[in-house]
Amino acid sequence: MLTLVAVLITLDPADYRPNLPQGPGITLDESFNVQMGVYLIESFKGYGLGILDPQSAQEVFGNPAYNPDHPPLGRLWLGVFHEISRAVAPVRSGDNPFITIHARTGSAVAFALTVFLVGVFAARRWGLLAGVTSSISLAVMPRLFGHAHLASLETFMGLTWTIAILGTIHLWNRRPESNSHDDSGPDSNVEPESEPPGDKAAILCGLLIGLALLTKMQAVLLPPLLTVWAFWHWRLSAFRPLAVSGITTAVVFVVGWPWLWLDLPGHLTEYFGRTTGRVSLNVWYLGQVFKDVDAPWHYPWVMTLVTVPVGILLLAAAGVWGARRRILNDPTTSLMIGSVVVPLVLFSLPGVAVYDGARLFLVAFPGIALLAGCGLSRLCDWLMDRKLPHKPILGIVLAGQLAGIFTTTPYFLSYYNVAVGGTPGAERLGFEVSYWGDSFSRELFAKLVETVPDSSIVQVAPVLHQFQLPELERQVPILAEGSSPTGRQVWLVAAYKPLEPYSRFSSAKALRQGKTPSKYLAVFRRQADAPSPRKLEEAGWELVTAETCQGVVVASLWRRSSPDGSG
């Protein structure tokens, strides 16, 4: 509940709830998810169960308005909470069909549920202290906490991934209640049951994995991970439950996504082969620009080590160290470690696209939190054996992990841990300090409206897709026509590609309306694509205002005295 409240009161991206603290700005991909979530909800309202009719499915999922780039479950979740939030706590929306802040509540609830499930699981396995520590460890990871503010699929993917992992452990490795606490931790001598789960339990496992597959592509890692894990611990006796589980997973995935019904072979090939035909993104890593498929193999490992608080990493290492003699024999620990390692291994493989910091492998983080809970429990035992004051020491360790949340708010996606010197150290080492546009926050747009004259054009960089700026204008009230505090209008237009001259102007829309080239430029600091401050200064731009995270500029507004560069 504390996690849920902490997220809900810091959701506001764009002056919808000015009396509450600001949250991360509207990110690049949120509009796609919210629009599709609302579209699905409206379709279900209109068709009801009739949507299962093949003709109705064709009208909904074969409609050009439907975007099948991701399965529907995560977006449906966001759509449900969009409608709940709009009914319970509406904000001014004008004629917008959807409002991002409403859908963001879905991610907040999903994150709170993940924190709860992780804590309950750890408490039942290793005791209350481990459970509380696991929950706190997950809740205070700034990258996860930040994503819980966004109407994106990552947080709900984390929930369904965690449910699938913990559910499988519970169903395949059940223990008597008398052995369910700390005495049966990862380094105990508990062996798996002589018989693997029956068909009912296997079907339930398949259902959980299928729900994860209906959320996002990362879930394709679950079947191979669980197959290797089951055969390792149960040998050939795992074959039947794995087969039952696999069939159930496939059925749930196909039945749960009506778009597949329209052309099952073709659409399956299109979905799972989509990564080969996608547009390549740039990655800024260790001071260099890489194509996403060319990022060094160690990118996911390094990004995990520098974006999880150091104290949590050390506790997780203590948990692994305590279980070192039983890792291969204890199903609980081996699957938890596998849930961390396998996503990182996948994104280390040559030719696999990886970008946007830790976003694509955030599913590994709940496993780290579980290991941290186990590690703190063992650290507590170690301190008690030496008659040291364990409660104050452990309390200080956990409280110290909160620092990342407070020092980066609301730019949680710019967090780096103290091992690299925080965000300032990460900037010096060449890590990306802002990648998703969240630094275009309420505060920056308020300063922009105060600074830029009425009916002016503001160039924006970088612009990574054609809907980015129209959605900003629709979703930020102070930019929408007639809704700014002064009644003024500000036009957002795309600047040229990074490092090209910014004295020219390329908005056909603005030119048709007789607007003059812009003297203003707003930049969010995605260093792989954005112009550097030095380049802008050399081109004659002057810094007007900036948003910072731990003293590092993550977004800025620039002005030049004349559009042709003579100033």
Give domain status of residue 516, yes or no.
yes
Rounded to the nearest 5 percent, the helix, strand and coil shares of the chain are: 55, 10, 35
Q: Which of 12-21, 206-215, 427-436, 496-505 has the lowest mean pLDDT?
A: 496-505
Give domain status of residue 463, yes or no.
yes
Given this model, what pLDDT does residue 486 score?
53
Write out pLDDT tens, residues 201-223: 999 999 999 999 999 999 999 99
Which DSSP helix (H) or strand (E) runs through 456? strand 456-461
Given this model, what pLDDT does residue 276 score?
62
Given this model, what pLDDT does residue 417 score?
97
Residues 6+ positions from 275 with CB-CB distance below 8 Å: 217, 353
The Cα–Cα gap between 551 and 118 comes to: 34
Mean pLDDT of 365-392: 86
In a 3-state reduction of DSSP, which class is residue 326? Answer: coil
Q: Is the pLDDT of residue 171 over 80?
A: yes
Write out pLDDT tens, residues 229-286: 999 999 999 999 999 999 999 999 999 999 999 999 999 999 988 766 678 899 999 9
Query: 3-class secondary structure for 180-233?
Result: CCHHHCCCCCCCCCCCCCCHHHHHHHHHHHHHHHCCCHHHHHHHHHHHHHHHHH
| CATH number, domain containing residue 546 | 3.40.190
Residues 6+ positions from 512 with CB-CB distance below 8 Å: none
Write out pLDDT tens, residues 104-160: 999 999 999 999 999 999 999 989 999 999 999 999 999 999 999 999 999 999 999
**Greater pLDDT, 297 or 194:** 297
Find the domain containing 518 and state its range.
442-559
DSSP single-letter state for residue 274: G
Is residue 372 a contact partner of residue 118, using CB atoms and an 8 Å limit?
A: no
Residues 6+ positions from 113 with CB-CB distance below 8 Å: 159
How large is the angle between the packed helices 468-475 and 30-47, nearest 10 degrees?
70
The Cα–Cα gap between 287 and 303 comes to: 14
Q: Is the pLDDT of residue 449 over 60?
A: yes
Mean pLDDT of 523-548: 92
Q: Return the residue matching tokens 């040998």.
A: 235
Q: Which of 31-40, 299-308, 501-510, 526-535 has the lowest mean pLDDT?
A: 501-510
Q: Which of 37-51, 223-237, 360-374, 478-492 has the lowest mean pLDDT?
A: 478-492
Write out pLDDT tens, residues 311-322: 999 999 999 998
Query: 3-class secondary structure for 104-127?
Result: HHHHHHHHHHHHHHHHHHHHHHHC
The Cα–Cα gap between 450 and 12 comes to: 20
**Greater pLDDT, 207 or 386:** 207
Give domain status of residue 447, yes or no.
yes
Given this model, what pLDDT does residue 498 score?
41
The Cα–Cα gap between 433 and 451 comes to: 25
Mean pLDDT of 75-101: 91
The Cα–Cα gap between 177 and 182 comes to: 12
In a 3-state reduction of DSSP, which class is residue 449? Answer: helix
Q: Which two tokens stand for residue 277?
A: 């035909």
Within 508-562, residue ranges assigned H as helices are: 508-512, 533-538
Within 361-482, residue ranges assigned H as helices are: 365-385, 390-400, 403-408, 422-429, 442-451, 468-475
Q: Is the pLDDT of residue 507 over 80?
A: no
The Cα–Cα gap between 149 and 110 comes to: 10
Given this model, what pLDDT does residue 260 score?
96
**Cα 565 to chain centroid, rounded:** 40
Write out pLDDT tens, residues 6-39: 999 999 998 899 899 999 999 999 999 999 999 9
**Cα 470 to chain centroid, rounded:** 23
Number of domains in the chain: 1
Given this model, what pLDDT does residue 178 score?
43
Give domain status of residue 465, yes or no.
yes
Is residue 425 a contact partner of residue 416, using CB atoms and an 8 Å limit?
A: yes
The Cα–Cα gap between 186 and 184 comes to: 7
Mean pLDDT of 345-355: 95
Q: For residue 354, what pLDDT band results from cuts at 50, 70 and 90?
A: very high
Give domain status of residue 86, yes or no.
no
DSSP single-letter state for residue 492: E
Give domain status of residue 109, yes or no.
no
Q: What is the mean pLDDT of the chain?
A: 88
Half-sphere exposure of 394 (CA within 13 A, CB side): 25
Give domain status of residue 502, yes or no.
yes
The Cα–Cα gap between 74 and 106 comes to: 9
Mean pLDDT of 526-553: 93
Which DSSP helix (H) or strand (E) runs through 521? strand 520-524
Given this model, what pLDDT does residue 50 score?
87
**% of residues, the chain, pLDDT over 70:** 89
Q: Is the pLDDT of residue 326 over 90?
A: no
Give domain status of residue 507, yes or no.
yes
CA distances from 521 to 279, 292, 364, 370, 396 (A): 26, 27, 38, 45, 44
Considering 50-64, 287-301, 438-452, the range whose residues carry the highest mean pLDDT is 287-301
The Cα–Cα gap between 521 and 556 comes to: 8
Residues 6+ positions from 483 with CB-CB distance below 8 Å: 92, 94, 477
